[in-house]
Amino acid sequence: MARITKETKAEVRKRLLETAAREFADHGLDGANVDRIAVTAGYAKGTIYNYFKSKLELFAEVLAVGCDQAVERYSSVPHTGSVRDCLVALAAADVAVIQEEERFFQVVVREAMSFRAETYPVIVEQLTPYVAIVEEVLARGVADGEIRTDRPTGQLALAFVGVLAVLYVQHWGSGGAWPTQEEIPEFAVTLFLEGAGARPASPKPRRRRTPTKEKSP
Amino acid sequence: MARITKETKAEVRKRLLETAAREFADHGLDGANVDRIAVTAGYAKGTIYNYFKSKLELFAEVLAVGCDQAVERYSSVPHTGSVRDCLVALAAADVAVIQEEERFFQVVVREAMSFRAETYPVIVEQLTPYVAIVEEVLARGVADGEIRTDRPTGQLALAFVGVLAVLYVQHWGSGGAWPTQEEIPEFAVTLFLEGAGARPASPKPRRRRTPTKEKSP
Amino acid sequence: MARITKETKAEVRKRLLETAAREFADHGLDGANVDRIAVTAGYAKGTIYNYFKSKLELFAEVLAVGCDQAVERYSSVPHTGSVRDCLVALAAADVAVIQEEERFFQVVVREAMSFRAETYPVIVEQLTPYVAIVEEVLARGVADGEIRTDRPTGQLALAFVGVLAVLYVQHWGSGGAWPTQEEIPEFAVTLFLEGAGARPASPKPRRRRTPTKEKSP
Amino acid sequence: MARITKETKAEVRKRLLETAAREFADHGLDGANVDRIAVTAGYAKGTIYNYFKSKLELFAEVLAVGCDQAVERYSSVPHTGSVRDCLVALAAADVAVIQEEERFFQVVVREAMSFRAETYPVIVEQLTPYVAIVEEVLARGVADGEIRTDRPTGQLALAFVGVLAVLYVQHWGSGGAWPTQEEIPEFAVTLFLEGAGARPASPKPRRRRTPTKEKSP
DNA sequence: CATGAATGAGAATTCATTCAT
DNA sequence: AATGAATGAATTCTCATTCAT
């Protein structure tokens, strides 16, 4: 078995990571069963330890892979157009990524909330790039007068990610009933930008105004 | 003898619940140790099983108690004044409750995100009263023209609770740095009602309009 | 099962210790199997952990029990008569103790030689009482002129214990052929006191001087 | 090609044995890790199994090599002079050998004491040459009247080796404090030849009598 | 020969739960 | 009701050994 190496090994690793992602998604970090991962992936118990030092490291790797994919997607989102459009595009990219590995991201969110010394820093580290991209967009929005200026963009970026997360949670928690995955980007951005308050009299209360128009108050 | 026994029994139960709350808070649902709970409460391991059928039931009971307290607080919040004021008051009550048993509520949030067949329904059931109260307030807001009408109040209520949750998570995750507990109610309501978007030109864009004024569009 | 306690528990503990002694004797510290100990003793795997925190602690307890017995025997040896007689008596007590739990003491010797940070101190601590008793006897011998004075009694005591150990090892290693257990005390003392050298011409160079005689120089 | 391969093979073997010696010395037979040996030696795990059938066989080979070296040293010790001088020389050679591979010999001693069916015979076999040389010297001593005749030289030879071993053990166990390596040969021989007893009045009780002198009883 | 991935039998330990007293 | 000893399933991780390449 020795000399095929490299490609094969990478494949096995990938398969283990995928299986692990599913296992973590289904059972959480603690509940995941290392043996089950190996066997499900079609290998023997011990094999997993040829690839990952421990369950926690495996989890971290799974997380890293997921986040890398997400960042890639995020980065390919066009940063032009109005802030609203950008945010919707980012949220849509987010939804697309998460849709692919829904259960896995449930675990990410869940573990993020555990605030455990072992996992929290890992997760935060992996999430940083997202927030940075969002913040960038918001900063542009501030310059354009589309974003309120009485709060630091860093806080607002976190808030946006948080709103997205909340909607996912409600999506998951409702068994997908509401909000549906398709609704999430629009609703998140609307909620984030406009809030739930009734708009004071204005011609087109919600929805898309062209960027140019917006610029001139 | 009967009555004394009855009272004693209630007391033991209460003590067990309190100790269990702390244990769950410190170690999570899975990590909690039944033996430790019993011993810390001053009883033997077996005693717990005279009061609760299983660890999960114990958790559910603990949760129920916590939620009852919260509902009580919520209910005592005056429902008069502007919707904004009501929401701030509710959020403040929330903060107050959570502050008392912060660690425990972290666990609740975490477990809520697990979406486990065993725990999720339990938690949702316990949270329902909150959401109902929020929805009630929002419904009044709709009637008063303070709340947007293009979304069902049920959804908005969930969104509000979600925004609150997000801010808690960020509060916990940042080690209390931002937002601080004091900031949470105001910030949550502002974000919820107004969003992050720059307000289109309007006389008093944010804050505090009297209900009467708002009624006339 | 609860209230019988005390006596029963002590009995169970004793049974576990005995079984463990045999297991350690048969397989050494590393080779010993905790499960096997429990099952052999007639209990389930987990039971052992109700009595001992870990395998190592179990080992230490077994050792302690063995050493206590030995010290008891030692202490009951009469400290009167010539040093030679005392040493023979001590060695004979030693043989008697070790005979009872031969295999276990083999393990003690073996583990002592591992010089492992976890085990060595434990063993040394348990062996100290023996050496102290031997040293006491030798100190008396020095006073009586029976023991050479150019070496500290502490060193000589260790040497005596060592010689005994060597003879055991040879006894065990030879499958009991030589020296036999009966021979060990005499041979050890002879070797220890006189060495292997031919005695320089002297009336009755070795053996058996009456204490009274010796006292008068 | 054949010859080169042959030499190479011998070299690889040697390297593996050396690395293994260190590993066994550091971790004992059970604790030694085959993988670590291979990798440290610069080979892959499987390679070891091209040279040795099993970990145990590897251990036996390592042991054999160590003993061969020792025997070589022993054999080069001059067998002339008084028995005492010879023994001191042998013991010194022993110390020198052991000093080089201290940890390894600790393992030999330790495993010798395990009396395991798999290892004990191997070790005894390897030690035989030493004992034979010692016995030879003692036999000469008997002829010269330097050694007591009431014990078979075989037993005395074993006793001598044993005394040496004991002193090593005490040396190791004391962290080198006492006896120091330099002291061991003299002390071992003194203890072995004279014992701990006070010498009955005699001109030069211990130390260094010229061989000629001794010959005349 | 060398390689090193795969294997899978163990091993120690934890802990919720049961139940006799 | 309280107890706490007994249970045994479950889990993570180790590592000697095999064998296809």
Q: What is the DSSP string of B119-173?
A: THHHHHHHHHHHHHHHHHHHHHHHHHT-B-SSS-HHHHHHHHHHHHHHHHHHHHH
Nearest CA in chain D to C165: D166
Candidate from A154-158, B196-200, C65-69, C176-180 with smallest mean pLDDT? B196-200
Q: Specify the residue for token string 């040394």.
A: C124
Chain B residues 61-120 within 7 Å (CB) of strand E: none
**Is 70 exceeded by the pLDDT of residue D216?**
no
Q: Is the pLDDT of residue D37 over 90?
A: yes
Compare all CA atoms of chain D with the CA of C120 and give the residue at the minimum distance. D173
Yes or no, beta carbons of B147 and A199 under 8 Å apart: no
Residues above pLDDT 70, as percent of chain C: 86
C56 CA from E12 C1′ (Å): 11
For residue D149, which amino acid is it? T
Q: Which range among B30-39, B172-181, C145-154, D108-117 shows the weakest confidence by mean pLDDT?
A: D108-117
Interface touch A138/B31, C-beta < 8 Å: no
Per-residue pLDDT, averaged over A135-145, amounts to 92
- Cβ atoms A38, A31 nearer than 8 A: no
pLDDT at D205: 41
- pLDDT attached to residue D16: 94
Judged by 3 or more CB pairs under 8 A, whether C touches A is no
Does D170 have pLDDT greater than 50?
Answer: yes
Q: Which nucleotide is nearest to B42 (CA to C1')?
A: F2
List chain B residues with CB under 8 Å of A217.
Answer: 200-201
Select the residue of C155, C160, C169 nearest D178 (Cβ to Cβ): C155
Asked if residues C68 and C173 have their Cβ atoms less than 8 Å apart, the reply is no
pLDDT score of D116:
67
Reported as a pLDDT band with limits 50, 70 and 90, residue D147 is very high
Could you give the CA distance from residue C111 to residue C109 in angstroms, rounded to a whole number? Answer: 6
pLDDT number for residue D6: 60
**pTM of the predicted model as reported, rounded to 2 decimal places:** 0.75
Using CA atoms, how far apart are residues C20 and C34, in angstroms rounded to an integer? Answer: 8
Quote the minimal CA–CA distance from B133 to chain A in Å: 16
> Which of the other chains make 3 or more beta carbon contacts under 8 angstroms with chain C?
D
Report chain D residues whose CB lies below 8 A from the CB of C159: 166-167, 170, 191, 196
Tokens (6 digits) for D49: 């199994």
D155 CB neighbours in chain C (<8 A) are 178-179
CA distance D129 to D135: 10
Q: For residue D211, is pLDDT > 60?
A: no
Select from A87, A124, A148, A207 the residue whose CB has the most chain B CBs within 10 Å, as the one to mutate to test that interface: A148
Best of B109, B115, B135, B199 to substitute, by most chain A Cβ atoms within 10 angstroms, is B115
pLDDT confidence of A40, banded at 50, 70, 90? Answer: very high
Q: Report the distance from CA of residue C133 to the C1' of nucleotide F15 in Å, as an integer.
A: 45
Q: Which of residues 11-70 of A have CB within 7 Å of strand E?
A: 12, 43-47, 49-51
Task: Output the distance from A10 CA to F11 C1' rounded to whole Å.
Answer: 27
All residues at 6 or more sequence positions from D162 whose CB lies less than 8 Å from its CB, including other chains = C163, C166, C167, C169, C170
User: Is the pLDDT confidence value at B74 over 90?
Assistant: no
End-to-end alpha carbon distance in chain B = 68
Tokens 């354009």 -> residue: A144
Q: Is the CB of D51 under 7 A from strand F?
A: no
Indicate which of D106, D191, D193, D215 best probes the interface with C, i.e. most C CBs within 10 Å of its own CB: D191
Instruction: Point out which residues pair with A61 in neighbouring strands.
Output: none
Q: Are B68 and B130 in contact (CB under 8 A)?
A: no
Residue D5's nearest nucleotide, by CA–C1', is E1
The answer to whether some atom of strand E lies closer than 7 Å to the beta carbon of C1 is yes
Which spans in chain D are helix H? 2-31, 34-41, 45-51, 55-75, 83-100, 102-112, 120-144, 153-173, 183-194, 211-215
Statement: residue A89 has pLDDT above 50:
yes
* Per-residue pLDDT tens digits for B77-119: 887 888 999 999 999 988 888 887 777 787 787 777 767 766 7
Nearest nucleotide over every DNA/RNA strand to the D44 CA, judged by C1':
E3
SS3 D24: helix
- Chains touching D by CB (3 or more pairs below 8 Å): C
Integer Cα distance of D94 and D164 in angstroms: 9
For residue B135, the model assigns a pLDDT of: 93
What six digits make up the tokens of A41?
């992936």
What is the rounded average pLDDT of the residues A182-199?
Answer: 88
Helical (H) or strand (E) element with B178: none
Nearest residue, CB atoms, D113 vs list C162, C169, C197: C169
Per CB-CB distance under 8 Å, the chain D contacts of C200 are 199, 202, 205
Q: Which member of D114, D163, D217 has the closest CB to residue C163?
A: D163
Q: For residue D206, what pLDDT is reported?
A: 43
CA of D95 to C1' of F11 (A): 48
Is the pLDDT score of B4 beyond 50?
yes
Query: Is residue D1's pLDDT more than 50?
Result: no
Phi, psi of D83 (to 5 degrees): -60, -45
- The residues, any chain, with a CB within 8 Å of residue B63's CB and separated by 6 or more, are B108, B122, B123, B126
The upper half-sphere exposure of residue D130, i.e. CA atoms within 13 Å in the direction of its Cβ, equals: 28
- Positions 32-91 of A with beta carbon below 7 A from strand F are 32-35, 45-46, 49, 53-56
Cα distances (angstroms) measured from residue C186 to each of A135, C160, C167, C177, C189: 89, 12, 11, 16, 5
**CB–CB contacts below 8 A, C to D:** 136
Picking from D109, D160, D169, the nearest residue to C162 by CB comes out as D169
Q: Do B169 and A112 touch (CB under 8 A)?
A: yes
Closest protein residue to E7 (Cα–C1'): A44
